[in-house]
């Protein structure tokens, strides 16, 4: 298809891409009140062409343009009792494609960021093994390695929306997810090196942060696809993401992806740690709680248009969003403009990887009428992302975790977007 910006606008005449932009040279075609300066616009020679720019090396570690300052992780004040045990959210509404830039990956720490000197880094592997081992970072880097793109979603993502629409913006309702390319060692290779004793069933993974956060991981998952990762998007993990080493548990809730990984203990039963008893369990209506609900079910979110972005213009527009499933690949994403009555398949662009985010687009011509925008993900097991009502029927509203219900946005005639629910 022809995209906005293409010189050959003839093909697009069916629907005018830039509503209100009668000719390509019209300044401020978007109609937005923005302090622009005609002196810097064609046919004039702009100020940045009249002088030399920064030389190489001035920006030894590159940063985004100074005009992109609003593209940052954000916190919610009332969710931040203490900054050391809190969360900052990925600005999903400002991103595209499937890869989250390292500096924008949401952070969830229970006791702040551990600053580990890699020279003193050790990973201890013990318990029901033939040879207890201690790996340095260099040791880990000498093992055969793999590169894998995976999403990580905190089980508490969308957790504040169980009882109704509350936070306004996908950064806050859905921003506890990121998707990066990890480089690391398959955990199976380390376990093979140590030799797992027969009867072993579980592994306890523990972090080196002040929380010493720990979780029980089934051995079957550990040898299936878990990684001991040290790189994200090519560079070493950021301190926020567990530098120098974190556990990668594809498709499973973020809590078990232990950061600052210091210890793996092999055993024959789970440890029932704090994080898998009083936390990260799902309290049902009947007073019972689900435990070890590891897998993140299929979910999707429209990231643009979005409550935090500028109001939508009439005319041709692209709805854009992310979808993922912890059970495999995303098979399809549907979009509804009428609150879930009618669905049409969205296009997916870019790679469709196992347990990774996919990017979907849905093109439409907006006449300015009020719409109720929704998206739903269908994965390759045939599972369809449920409505919030369907989810509440089964799970009640006591839960914090595993809310993968369909999000509704009201698109108002003025182009504003609001987080709402349909009855
Ligand atoms: N050691 C340690 N690992 C941890 C945590 C922590 O506080 N300490 N938080 C967990 C939780 S609850 C989540 S959702 C993910 C968040 O990973 P991120 O900060 O890279 O987004 O890390 C997990 N691993
Ligand atoms: Mo989490």
User: Which protein residue has the closest C-alpha to ligand 1 atom 6?
Assistant: 109
For the stretch 173-203, pLDDT in tens is: 999 999 999 999 999 999 999 999 999 999 9
- The ligand with the least distance to the CA atom of 213 is 1
Residue 207 CB–ligand 1 contact under 6 Å:
yes
Question: Cβ neighbours of residue 147 under 8 Å, at least 6 residues apart?
Answer: 181, 182, 183
Whole-model pTM above 0.85?
Answer: yes
Residue 157 CB–ligand 1 contact under 6 Å:
no
Question: Cβ neighbours of residue 269 under 8 Å, at least 6 residues apart?
Answer: 201, 202
Cα–Cα distance, 161 to 392 (Å, whole number): 11
For the stretch 118-174, pLDDT in tens is: 999 999 999 999 999 999 999 999 999 999 999 999 999 999 999 999 999 999 999
Cα–Cα distance, 386 to 82 (Å, whole number): 34
Residue 213 CB–ligand 1 contact under 6 Å:
yes
Instruction: Please state the separation of Cα 293 from the chain's center in Å.
Output: 19
Does residue 39 sit in helix, strand or coil? Answer: helix
CB 335 within 8 A of CB 319: yes
Ordered structural domains, the chain, with CATH? 94-290 (3.90.420.10), 299-420 (2.60.40.650)
**pLDDT reading at 26 higher than 50:** no
Whole-angstrom CA distances from 148 to 231, 241, 250 are 10, 16, 9
Overall average pLDDT of the 374-397 stretch = 96
- When pLDDT is cut at 50, 70 and 90, the band that residue 17 belongs to is low
Question: Cβ neighbours of residue 293 under 8 Å, at least 6 residues apart?
Answer: 155, 253, 280, 281, 282, 401, 402
In the chain, what percentage of residues exceed pLDDT 90?
A: 89
In this structure, what token pair is assigned to residue 205? 């993974």
Residue 90 CB–ligand 1 contact under 6 Å:
no
Atom of ligand 1 nearest to the CA of 110: 7
Cα–Cα distance, 158 to 225 (Å, whole number): 26
CB 284 within 8 A of CB 290: yes
């Amino acid at each position: 298809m022809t995209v906005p910006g293409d010189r050959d606008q003839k093909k697009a005449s069916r629907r005018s891409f830039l509503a209100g932009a009668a000719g390509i040279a019209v300044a401020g075609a978007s109609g937005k009140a923005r302090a622009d300066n005609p002196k810097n616009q064609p046919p004039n020679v702009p100020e940045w062409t009249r002088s030399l720019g920064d030389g190489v090396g001035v920006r030894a570690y590159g940063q985004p343009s100074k005009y992109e300052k609003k593209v940052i992780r954000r916190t919610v004040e009332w969710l931040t009792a203490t900054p050391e045990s809190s969360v900052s959210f990925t600005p999903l509404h400002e991103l595209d494609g499937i890869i989250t830039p390292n500096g924008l990956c949401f952070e969830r720490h229970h006791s702040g960021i551990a600053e580990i000197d890699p020279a003193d880094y050790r990973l201890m592997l013990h318990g029901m093994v033939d040879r207890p081992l201690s790996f340095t970072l260099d040791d880990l880097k000498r093992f055969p390695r793999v590169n894998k793109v995976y999403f990580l979603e905190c089980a508490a993502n969308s957790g504040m929306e169980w009882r109704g629409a509350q936070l306004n913006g996908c950064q806050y309702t859905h921003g506890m997810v990121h998707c990066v390319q990890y480089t690391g060692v398959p955990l199976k290779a380390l376990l093979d090196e140590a030799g797992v004793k027969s009867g072993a069933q579980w592994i306890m993974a523990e972090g080196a942060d002040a929380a010493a956060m720990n979780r029980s991981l089934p051995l079957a998952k550990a040898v299936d696809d878990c990684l001991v990762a040290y790189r994200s998007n090519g560079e070493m993990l950021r301190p926020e993401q567990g530098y120098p080493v974190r556990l990668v548990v594809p498709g499973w809730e973020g809590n078990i992806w232990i950061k600052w990984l210091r210890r793996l203990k092999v055993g024959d039963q789970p440890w029932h740690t704090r994080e898998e008893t009083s936390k990260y369990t799902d309290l049902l209506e009947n007073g019972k709680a689900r435990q070890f609900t590891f897998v993140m079910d299929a979910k999707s979110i429209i990231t643009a248009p979005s409550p935090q972005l500028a109001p939508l213009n009439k005319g041709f527009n692209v709805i854009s969003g992310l979808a993922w499933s912890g059970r495999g690949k995303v098979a399809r994403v549907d979009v509804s403009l009428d609150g879930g009555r009618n669905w049409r398949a969205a296009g997916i662009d870019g790679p469709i990887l196992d347990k990774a985010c996919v990017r979907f687009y849905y093109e439409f011509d907006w006449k300015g009428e009020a719409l109720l925008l929704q998206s739903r993900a269908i994965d390759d097991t045939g599972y369809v992302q449920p409505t919030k009502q369907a989810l509440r029927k089964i799970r009640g509203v006591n839960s914090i975790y595993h809310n993968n219900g369909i999000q509704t946005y009201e698109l108002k005639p003025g182009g504003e977007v609001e987080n709402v629910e349909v009855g």
